[in-house]
Amino acid sequence: MQKIRYILILFILFTSFDGVSQDRNLVQVIVGNEGNFGSGNATLTNYLVENNSANDGVFLEANGTGIGDVVQSLSWINGSIYVVVNNSQKIVVLDPETFQQTGQISLGENASPQQIMQVSESKAYVTDLYASLAYVVNLEDHSVSETTIPAGVNPDRMAQFEEYAYIANSGFGADSTIFKVDIATDAVVDTFEVSRGPSGMRIDADGILWVVSTGYSGDYDDEFNLVPGTSRPGGVHGIDLETGEEVAFAELPSAGSDLAFNPNDNKLYVNTGGVRAFDIVEETFSADTLYKGSFYGMGYDDVSGNFYLANARDFSSAGEVIIYNEATAEADSFDTGVNPGSFLFLYEDMLGTSTEETELASGFELSQNYPNPFNPTTNIEYSTERAGQVKLEVYNITGQKVAELVNARQSAGVKSVQFDASHLSSGLYIYRIITPSGMLSRKLTLIK
């Protein structure tokens, strides 16, 4: 049962699992928008499937501040959304129903996190794109171990099968290795060789690791001319995880890093000048491209058969996501933030129980203020399981701090503080507690 539970949790993290329940109901699609590098304008877009409506900036709306610089990937772990914010060197933990921040993993000044993947009940791995390693994270307190896992050049996507994790070393086309890691010891125990630029991975029911390699564009001279013979094609590889042998390969001149899998029709889907299908039984690509175009990212809902294709447009203004259904050949779309690149699919059976579990696991709680709405005073109660530095702050909806209620080292236990907002105007505000275990935010409403 434990193995099945982990596979269910991790299928959105570019890993795979077998036997998706066809009666699952997709409720929301979360889109991670990178923003412009160095501008701190990354956002999250929440698309409500039933209403066919999208809302960009849901993190800002819920927390009163931006999420950071470059949202790289999204993961679902223990009932929470984990957002990898690459250039802010952190992973933000969110309540999936309110989008309020419930915790944070800080990885250090020079870190460049790429993806987080849960590998056991209380442990996750995080690839670092430029440090050639993966971090080991304790999911109970979000601490980062001093022990790291060595990786190849530019470690990118990960996958898990039974007691092993697999790290694809993309090297932006300069590496061609996949490291096999023993989860019990955090040690690399084997290496697989594929074509240049391994990235997206899926694992089927027979224990075959399917990998898409992007290929290598080649070397260039001082005048930016391609050096003949240096470019390398990519493709799709199948590796038998029991023997370590390659059992299938289909070449592509070049491909994107996204790979989707539908176990019900034994097809892989590759983002390569549009969506192309690969039959894992016949080991061949379909002759026709399902949906043509140049897409910044690709997500796939294998319940409905819908593709979510990210269009970055001009890479500086709002992007869009195109929803394409292979069966009907119909397409729809919705607007996003700048440079949409990652997807997280939230189904009905995944929602409804996350907040309480996350708060208890984090070691601190923040209660809803009372009364709410209020005028002009209200009480805020919070608790911590251990002594430490505590901050309790209030922000307006533009992200400006309007009050600091607590900033001191405190003993463990339940505390209460009164907030006097007589100097503020009516409106919605965000109050936030920051402890060594993480951060939590809630909304309050002042009515005068």
Q: Are 315 and 299 in contact (CB under 8 A)?
A: no
Whole-angstrom Cα distance, residue 139 to residue 118?
A: 8
Considering just the CA atoms, what is the radius of gyration of the chain in Å? 23
Whole-angstrom Cα distance, residue 215 to residue 205?
A: 27
Residues of the chain with pLDDT under 50: 1-22, 353-361
Q: Are 67 and 43 in contact (CB under 8 A)?
A: yes
Quick one: fold of 2-355?
Answer: Methylamine Dehydrogenase; Chain H (2.130.10)
Domain boundaries, the chain: 2-355, 364-446
pLDDT at 3: 36
pLDDT at 11: 38
Whole-angstrom Cα distance, residue 198 to residue 184?
A: 25
406's tokens: 């607590």
254's tokens: 């070049």
Q: Are 63 and 53 in contact (CB under 8 A)?
A: no
Whole-angstrom Cα distance, residue 124 to residue 103?
A: 15
Whole-angstrom Cα distance, residue 146 to residue 78?
A: 23
CA-CA distances (angstroms) from residue 63 to 100, 130, 291, 396? 6, 30, 37, 10
Q: Which of 340, 269, 311 is nearest to 30 (CA)?
A: 340
Over residues 71-118, the pLDDT tens digits come to 999 999 988 999 999 999 999 999 988 899 989 999 988 999 999 999
- What is the side-by-side strand order in the sheet with 123-128? 113-120, 123-128, 133-138, 143-150
Phi/psi of residue 186, each to 5°? 60, 35
Give this prediction's pTM.
0.74
Q: Are 214 and 257 in contact (CB under 8 A)?
A: yes
Q: Among positive and negative, which fits the CA dihedral 35, 26, 308, 129?
A: positive
Residues paired with residue 370 on neighbouring β-strands, in sequence order: 379
Q: Which of 178, 164, 256, 264 is nearest to 207 (CA)?
A: 164
Q: Which CATH superfamily is domain 364-446 in?
A: Macroglobulin (MG2) domain (2.60.40.1930)
Beta-strand relationship, 401-410 and 438-446: unpaired
HEC profile of the chain? CHHHHHHHHHCCCCCCCCCCCCCCCEEEEEEEECCCCCCCCCEEEEEECCCCEEEECHHHHHHCCCCCCCEEEEEEECCEEEEEEHHHCEEEEECCCCCCEEEEEECCCCCCEEEEEEEECCEEEEEECCCCEEEEEECCCCEEEEEEEECCCCEEEEEEECCEEEEEECHHHCCCEEEEEECCCCEEEEEEECCCCEEEEEECCCCEEEEEECCECCCECCCCCECCCCCECEEEEEEECCCCCEEEEEEECCCCCCEEEECCCCEEEEECCEEEEEECCCCEECCCCCEECCCCEEEEECCCCEEEEEECCCCCCEEEEEEEECCCCEEEEEEEEECEEEEEEEEHHHCCCHHHHHHHHHCEEECCCECCCECCEEEEEEEECCCEEEEEEEEECCCCEEEEEEEEEECCEEEEEEEECCCCCCEEEEEEEEECCEEEEEEEEECC
